[in-house]
A and B are shown apart, each in its own frame.
Chain A
Amino acid sequence: MATTTKLFGSRIKRREDPRLITGKGNFVDDVKLPGTTSAAFVRSPHAHARIRAINTAPAKAAPGVVAVYTGKDLVEGKVGGLPCGWLLPDIKLPPHPPLAVDKVHHMGEAVAVVIAENPYAAKDAAELVEVDYEVLPAVTDGEKALQSGAPVLHDQAPGNLCFSWTIGDKDKTEVAFKDAAQVVKQRLINQRLIPNAIEPRASLASFNPATNDLTLWVTSQNPHVHRLLMAAFVLGMPEHKVRVISPDVGGGFGSKIFLYPEEVIVSWASKTLGRPVRWTAERRESFLTDAHGRDHITEAEMAFDKDGKILGLRVKTNANLGAYLSTFAPLIPTYLYGTLLSGLYEIPTIWCEVSGVFTNTTPVDAYRGAGRPEATYLLERMVDLGARALGMDPAELRRRNFIPADKFPYQTPVAFVYDSGNYGPALDRALQILDYQTLRQEQERLRKEGRYTGIGFSTYIEACGPAPSQVAGALGAQAGLYESAHVRVHPTGKVSVYTGSHAHGQGHETTFAQLAADELGVPLEDIEIVHGDTGQIPFGMGTYGSRSAAVGGAAIHMSLQKIKEKGKKIAAHLLEAAEADMVYEGGKYFVKGSPDRAKTFQEVSLMAYLAHNLPKGLEPGLEATSFFDPPNFTFPFGAHIAVVEVDPDTGTVKILRYVAVDDVGNVINPMIVDGMVHGGITQGVAQALWEGAVYDENGQLLTGTMMEYALPKADNLPSFETDRTVTPSPVNPMGVKGAGETGTIAATAAVANAVMDALAPFGITHIDLPLTPTRIWQAIQAAAK
Chain B
Amino acid sequence: MYPATFEYHTPGSVNEAVSLLDRYKDEAKLLAGGHSLIPIMKLRLAQPKHLIDLRKIQGLSGIREAGGAIVIGALTTHWMVESSDLLKQTLPILPEAAGQIGDMQVRNMGTIGGSLAHADPAADLPAVILALGAELKAMGPKGERTTKAEDFFVDLLTTALQPNEVLTEIRIPLPLPKTGGAYEKYPHPASRYAVVGVAALLTVDRRDTVQSASIGITGIGSKATRARAAEQYLIGKAPDNDALKTAAERATEGISIRADLQGSAEYKAHLAKVYTRRALTRALERARAA
List chain A positions with a Cβ less than 8 A from chain B.
Answer: 119-120, 123-124, 127, 282-284, 649-650, 652, 689-690, 694, 702-703, 705-711, 713, 716, 772-774, 777-778
A650 CA to B189 CA, complexed, in Å = 14
Instruction: Select B190's contact among A282, A652, A710, A773, beta carbons within 8 Å.
Output: A710
* Chain A: CB-nearest residue to B277: A649
The answer to whether B5 touches A703 (Cβ under 8 A) is no
Knowing A283-B1, A649-B274, A705-B43, say if A694 contacts B261 (CB, 8 Å).
Answer: yes
B8 close to A (CB within 8 Å): no
The answer to whether B267 touches A703 (Cβ under 8 A) is no
A702 CA to B43 CA, complexed, in Å = 15
Residue among B5, B42, B189, B263 with most chain A CB within 10 A: B189
A772-B262, A774-B264 given. 13 additional CB < 8 A pairs? A123-B4, A124-B4, A127-B44, A282-B1, A652-B186, A690-B190, A703-B261, A707-B190, A708-B191, A710-B189, A711-B190, A774-B262, A777-B263
A442 → B minimal CB distance (Å):
25
B69 → A minimal CB distance (Å):
35
A690 CA to B195 CA, complexed, in Å = 14
A691 → B minimal CB distance (Å):
9
Instruction: Select A702's contact among B39, B191, B261, B271, beta carbons within 8 Å.
Output: B261
Knowing A649-B274, A708-B261, say if A120 contacts B2 (CB, 8 Å).
Answer: yes
Knowing A708-B261, A710-B190, say if A650 contacts B274 (CB, 8 Å).
Answer: yes
A282 CA to B43 CA, complexed, in Å = 9
A264 CA to B238 CA, complexed, in Å = 72
A376 CA to B290 CA, complexed, in Å = 54
B270 close to A (CB within 8 Å): yes
5 closest pairs, A vs B, by CB? Answer: A774-B263, A710-B189, A710-B190, A707-B191, A123-B2
* Chain A: CB-nearest residue to B270: A777
Q: Mark B262-290, 1 if CB is under 8 A from A, else 0.
A: 11100100110010000000000000000
Q: How many residues of B contact A (CB 8 A)?
A: 22
B240 → A minimal CB distance (Å):
19
* Chain B: CB-nearest residue to A119: B2
The answer to whether A650 touches B190 (Cβ under 8 A) is no
* Chain B: CB-nearest residue to A716: B189
B193 cross-chain contacts in A, Cβ below 8 A: 707
Q: Mark B186-222, 1 if CB is under 8 A from A, else 0.
A: 1011110100000000000000000000000000000
A56 → B minimal CB distance (Å):
19
B194 → A minimal CB distance (Å):
13
* Chain A: CB-nearest residue to B267: A774
The answer to whether A773 touches B191 (Cβ under 8 A) is no
A202 → B minimal CB distance (Å):
13
The answer to whether A690 touches B189 (Cβ under 8 A) is yes
B188 → A minimal CB distance (Å):
8
Knowing A773-B263, A774-B262, A777-B267, say if A709 contacts B190 (CB, 8 Å).
Answer: yes
Q: Mark B243-277, 1 if CB is under 8 A from A, else 0.
A: 00000000000000000011110010011001000
A261 CA to B281 CA, complexed, in Å = 57
A778 cross-chain contacts in B, Cβ below 8 A: 264, 267
A694 cross-chain contacts in B, Cβ below 8 A: 261
* Chain A: CB-nearest residue to B189: A710
Knowing A124-B4, A650-B274, say if A708 contacts B263 (CB, 8 Å).
Answer: no
A690 CA to B192 CA, complexed, in Å = 13
Knowing A649-B274, A774-B262, say if A120 contacts B5 (CB, 8 Å).
Answer: yes
Q: Mark B1-22, 1 if CB is under 8 A from A, else 0.
A: 1101100000000000000000
The answer to whether A284 touches B263 (Cβ under 8 A) is no
A127 cross-chain contacts in B, Cβ below 8 A: 4, 44
The answer to whether B43 touches A284 (Cβ under 8 A) is yes
Residue among B2, B193, B270 with most chain A CB within 10 A: B2
A716 cross-chain contacts in B, Cβ below 8 A: 189
A703 cross-chain contacts in B, Cβ below 8 A: 261
Residues in B149-175 with C-beta less than 8 Å from chain A: none
The answer to whether A650 touches B5 (Cβ under 8 A) is no
A124 cross-chain contacts in B, Cβ below 8 A: 4-5
A757 → B minimal CB distance (Å):
22
Please name 27 pairs of A and B residues whose Cβ atoms are closer than 8 Å in the assembled complex, sorted by A: A119-B2, A123-B4, A123-B44, A124-B4, A124-B5, A127-B4, A127-B44, A282-B1, A652-B186, A690-B189, A690-B190, A694-B261, A702-B261, A706-B190, A706-B191, A707-B188, A708-B190, A708-B261, A709-B190, A710-B188, A710-B190, A711-B190, A716-B189, A772-B189, A773-B263, A774-B262, A777-B263
Instruction: Select B271's contact among A119, A650, A707, A711, beta carbons within 8 Å.
Output: A650
Q: Mark B34-73, 1 if CB is under 8 A from A, else 0.
A: 0000010011100000000000000000000000000000
A531 → B minimal CB distance (Å):
30
A774 CA to B189 CA, complexed, in Å = 12
B39 cross-chain contacts in A, Cβ below 8 A: 707
B44 cross-chain contacts in A, Cβ below 8 A: 123, 127
A161 → B minimal CB distance (Å):
30
A479 CA to B105 CA, complexed, in Å = 45
A580 → B minimal CB distance (Å):
65
B2 cross-chain contacts in A, Cβ below 8 A: 119-120, 123, 282
A774 → B minimal CB distance (Å):
4
* Chain B: CB-nearest residue to A778: B267
B186 cross-chain contacts in A, Cβ below 8 A: 650, 652, 773
A461 CA to B5 CA, complexed, in Å = 53
Residue among A283, A284, A650, A703 with most chain B CB within 10 A: A650
A282 CA to B271 CA, complexed, in Å = 35
* Chain B: CB-nearest residue to A123: B2
B42 cross-chain contacts in A, Cβ below 8 A: 282
A711 CA to B190 CA, complexed, in Å = 6
* Chain A: CB-nearest residue to B193: A707
A127 CA to B262 CA, complexed, in Å = 32
A716 CA to B188 CA, complexed, in Å = 12
